[in-house]
Amino acid sequence: MLDLKLIREKPDLVREKLNARNGIYDLQPLLQLDEQRRSLEQERSQLQARGNEIGKQVGQQMKAGVKPDDPALQLLKDEGNQVKAKLSDLEPQEKDLKAQIEALLLTFPNLPGDTTPIGKNETENVEVRRWGDEYKPQQEGILPHWEIAEKLGILNTERATKLAQTRFVALLGAGAALERSLISFMLDRQTAAGYLEVLPPLLVNTQSLTATGQLPKFAEESFQCKDDDLWLIPTAEVPVTNLYRDEILTADDLPIHHCAYTPCFRREAGSYGRDTRGLIRLHQFNKVELVKLVRPETSEQEHQTLVQNAEAILQALKLPYRVVELCTGDLGFGAAKCYDLEVWLPAAGTYREISSCSNFGDFQARRGNIRFKEAGKKGTEFVHTLNGSGLAVGRTMAALLENYQQPDGTVSIPEVLQPFLGRSVL
């Protein structure tokens, strides 16, 4: 959520930042509502002051022996009653204006960071670096990951569709074991890097999704339990960040680094037929997520470290990838700055996203009211939140099946993964 005070005091700056996202964002209705609310607040303050003054005068006169039926005293009491009635009328008006302002604020995306590249769309993202070109397979005729997986008997989409619908898969035998091995490997590496593992609920309430920015904008992307105020999580970012919703942490509590494996559930409503085969874009998929809550002055460095923690998994698996910094026109709704890690898929001859590492600044913390307090200082500050995949497990498996594919139709297993899987080849 954006800072209403910043919008009020620097509307031109906010407009400039929002316009860099290439959307249409009108601040005027919000500013008008804010002006009405502040006018009502001023009126209420004046009325309360007058009411207090009347109460004091009535008390002094009665203490001085003025009779209760004295005309002058009765006039004061009548005025006091009128003030109370006006205050009573103002309360629902203020409440309604506050709700309208909050509803509008929830629709605005985060402001791009000062160092985020300006650009219209993904074609203007900036490639930061590449790693592992020497590990790109040179053989021809590499099969797409779903084809080699089906040949090996470790993936079945037809039976999964029978159970649910399209864009679900069933992993069998070594396929299920490989998925489990990747999850264990990733969690072991991230906990060794200093992340505390969390196993959170897979169902969360509306308030949780609102705090992290999925609601109200992305309601159509989420699966909802109609009979309860519960939604299937689209990512572990939601429950893990919301562990601290409506809390005031101490400065000593920070930084908080968590990692979590969870299944994730997304409708993929806007994908329009893209990646309908294989493991790239599913309604249900597994992911290991990295989440940080940090002090504002450290968030930039914490962001760089988070990216490196995600990269470390790809490097250990010797999977070629590149790091891309997203421009303002391709930035996610809540992110101020974001780096995508894109893994090499040789069958398609292209890089595909396997992790998005985002710095949200205080955007999510404002929505979720997550603050911290310095010892000996007055007031509180909002924490900064960050997250990224460490990694998307299905996409990692897809990359392994293609990059480690052998001419004889088998798939070799990276050395670091062999102790987890108990085999060196599929």
Which of 53, 221, 268, 353 is catalytic? The answer is 353
Give per-residue pLDDT as tens, 116-158. Answer: 999 999 999 999 999 999 999 998 899 999 999 999 999 999 9
Answer yes or no: 21 catalytic: no
HSE-CB of 188 using CA atoms within 13 angstroms: 11
Answer yes or no: 102 catalytic: no
Q: What residue has token string 């480690």?
A: 404
Answer yes or no: 395 catalytic: yes
Answer yes or no: 353 catalytic: yes
Residue 329 contacts residue 364 (beta carbons within 8 Å):
no
At residue 87, φ and ψ (nearest 5 deg) are -65, -40
Instruction: Name the nearest CA neighbour of 190 among 239, 257, 121, 99.
Output: 257
Which of 289, 302, 395, 402 is catalytic? The answer is 395
Give per-residue pLDDT as tens, 159-173. Answer: 999 999 999 999 999
HSE-CB of 247 using CA atoms within 13 angstroms: 11
Calculate the dihedral angle through the C-alpha atoms of 399, 305, 124, 264, rounding to the nearest 10 degrees: 50
- Full-model pTM: 0.91
Give the pair of three-digit tokens for residue 417.
Answer: 């993964």
Which of 37, 167, 266, 366 is catalytic? The answer is 266
Give per-residue pLDDT as tens, 264-315. Answer: 999 986 555 666 788 999 999 999 999 999 999 999 999 999 999 999 999 9
Residue 383 contacts residue 300 (beta carbons within 8 Å):
no
- Average pLDDT of the chain to the nearest whole number: 94
- pLDDT block averages, 10 residues each, the chain of length 426: 95 95 92 94 89 84 82 82 88 92 96 96 96 94 94 94 93 96 98 98 97 94 93 98 97 97 87 73 96 97 98 98 98 97 96 97 97 92 98 97 95 97 95
Which of 37, 281, 352, 366 is catalytic? The answer is 281
Return all residues near 318 (Cβ < 8 A) that are at least 6 apart. 132, 135, 414
What pLDDT, on the 0 to 100 scale, is given for residue 73?
A: 80
What pLDDT, on the 0 to 100 scale, is given for residue 61?
A: 85
Return all residues near 373 (Cβ < 8 A) that are at least 6 apart. 248, 249, 250, 251, 379, 380, 381
Question: What is the rounded distance in angstroms from the CA atom of residue 226 to the CA atom of residue 211?
Answer: 20
* DSSP 8-state secondary structure symbol assigned to residue 116: S
